Amino acid sequence: MQKDGRWSSVPSPSSGQAKFNRRPKSHEPALYREMFLVWAVCAFGFLPGIPPRVAAQSSADKIVHIHCGSLIEGKTGEARSNVTVVVKNDRVSEVISGDAFPGAANTIDLSQETCLPGLIDTHTHVLLQGDVTAADYDEQLLKQSTEYRAILATVNVRRALEYGFTTIRDVETEGAGYADVDVKRAINEGVIPGPRMQVATRAMDVTGAYPLLGYAPNVPVPHGVEVVDGADEGRKAVREQISHGADWIKVYSDRGYRVREDGVLDDIPTFTAEELKAIVDEAHRERRKVASHAIGLHGVHNSVEAGVDTIEHGDYIADGDLKTMVAHGTYYVNTIYVGDYVAQGRAAAGAPVWVKMLSIHEDTFRRAMKAGVKIAFGTDAGGFPWTENPAKEFAYMVKWGMTPGQAIRSATSTAAELLGWSDQVGSVETGKYADIVAVAGDPIKDITLLEHVNFVMKNGVVIKHP
Ligand SMILES: [Zn+2]
């Protein structure tokens, strides 16, 4: 999150991460299995968009049958009852109707559960511990070392995985440099548990627009972004961030929100059109995509005109810009829950506009759905503390007019498309990563069940079991 407010809360040490790793056959060297998994995730994690090779069948293949009471496979958002998912090593090898292997020793019995693809959150900040107010934010940047923040991030990614998010896009470190690249690496190398990640590193904003702000001119303070002015500096920053591991480029396109008399959410644009276009052009030349924090009228308009790939937050989007988003295929990552979470605290700290923004956001969300904009699930976790389950977002999306099936698709197949990983994640299908979660009951009837994921498998490895 950011812009005119932040918050705080340090996660308590996570407990009870139930590991339920499949048991290797007695003749199988455990080391080989570990090495294969490490290789597989490294190959995928470091080269987004390049499918890893598929392991040849051998006696060392690990086969597990997951018997699901029902399965929502992710593309349609509809449930199919009594299904067996066959997992070979880290991939789904088959999806079969019925209890295909009754009594088999290597079966995980989820006959009382609904299985779904691993959830995907396309807007997180694993290096942030919540920021309702500016004081919360400043304290993290001024009093926590990057090293300490990275330690906290290792707890946050484990929480994300245990909540059921097997993939995330982390859209900037809020002043913690390139620590997201290291967190991703530690996950991919099997050092710590966490979701597969795409990362945006430092993000960009113009001089005087991004916290820390308000300190005496002679007091040098850190900033939550890389400060960039002018098209050339923008191009240079893109090159620099990509060279240090950025999968995405993140820009902050507006700030300073107020509601006009006609109900439009007005803002102060940050970058000029020329600057934004240069950043987008440079990122696209280097096969990276651009995520734009854009909350109000001008920020959104300038972003879609510059050709960004995703609009983050988008509390107000003019109808004309919604049309352009449909024409360009621009994704809308709406982050509703965080707005509600911070509204009262920010109003109390002198920014009542955050309370008014909720109804504007709802109207925009409904217009975006009607216009046919691609809506991808994203929460701004880290903008609220990681002790809050980001899956609370689902209930807001349904309250604002989505069907539960549509909300689930936004966090599975649509989110996978946004990441460019449709061929790897986002649905339970032959050949894709065995990223599977389950809940007790039917989330189509009660979407809040997704706040209580009780089974998590990532890469064919069970992380949590009922
Ligand atoms: Zn954010």
Distance, CA of 243 to CA of 356 (rounded, Å): 41
Q: What is the largest CA-CA distance in the chain?
A: 73
**34 alpha carbon to ligand 1 midpoint, in Å?**
34
What 3-state DSSP class applies to 133? coil
Most confident of 41-50, 70-79, 134-143, 286-295: 286-295
C-beta separation of 78 from 90 below 8 A: no
**437 alpha carbon to ligand 1 midpoint, in Å?**
25
Q: Which two tokens stand for residue 11?
A: 């996660």
131 pLDDT tier (thresholds 50, 70, 90):
confident
**124 alpha carbon to ligand 1 midpoint, in Å?**
6
* DSSP per position, 447-463: GGGGGG--EEEETTEEE
**332 alpha carbon to ligand 1 midpoint, in Å?**
13
**2 alpha carbon to ligand 1 midpoint, in Å?**
6
**294 alpha carbon to ligand 1 midpoint, in Å?**
10
Give me the long-range contacts of 258-262 (CB less than 8 A, separation at least 24). 258/353, 259/353, 259/356, 259/357, 259/360
* pLDDT given for residue 58 in this prediction: 66
pLDDT tens per residue, range 296-332? 999 999 999 999 999 999 999 999 999 999 999 999 9
**125 alpha carbon to ligand 1 midpoint, in Å?**
6
Of 9-18, 43-52, 69-78, the range with the lowest mean pLDDT is 9-18
**71 alpha carbon to ligand 1 midpoint, in Å?**
31
Count how many Cα atoms sit within 13 Å of the Cα of residue 46 in the half-sphere of its side chain.
12
What is the number of other CB atoms lying within 10 angstroms of the CB of residue 344?
A: 13
431 Cβ contact list (under 8 Å, min separation 6): 54, 91, 92, 423
**456 alpha carbon to ligand 1 midpoint, in Å?**
25
* pLDDT given for residue 22 in this prediction: 35
- Answering whether pTM is above 0.85, one says yes
pLDDT tens per residue, range 383-423? 999 999 999 999 999 999 999 999 999 999 999 999 999 99
Distance, CA of 460 to CA of 177 (rounded, Å): 32
**170 alpha carbon to ligand 1 midpoint, in Å?**
9
- Mean pLDDT value across the chain: 89
Closest CA to 234 of 252, 254, 215, 218: 252
User: Per-residue pLDDT for 33 more than 50?
Assistant: no
Distance, CA of 465 to CA of 197 (rounded, Å): 23
What is the edge-to-edge ordering of all strands in the sheet holding 248-252? Answer: 226-227, 204-205, 248-252, 289-294, 310-313, 331-333, 374-376
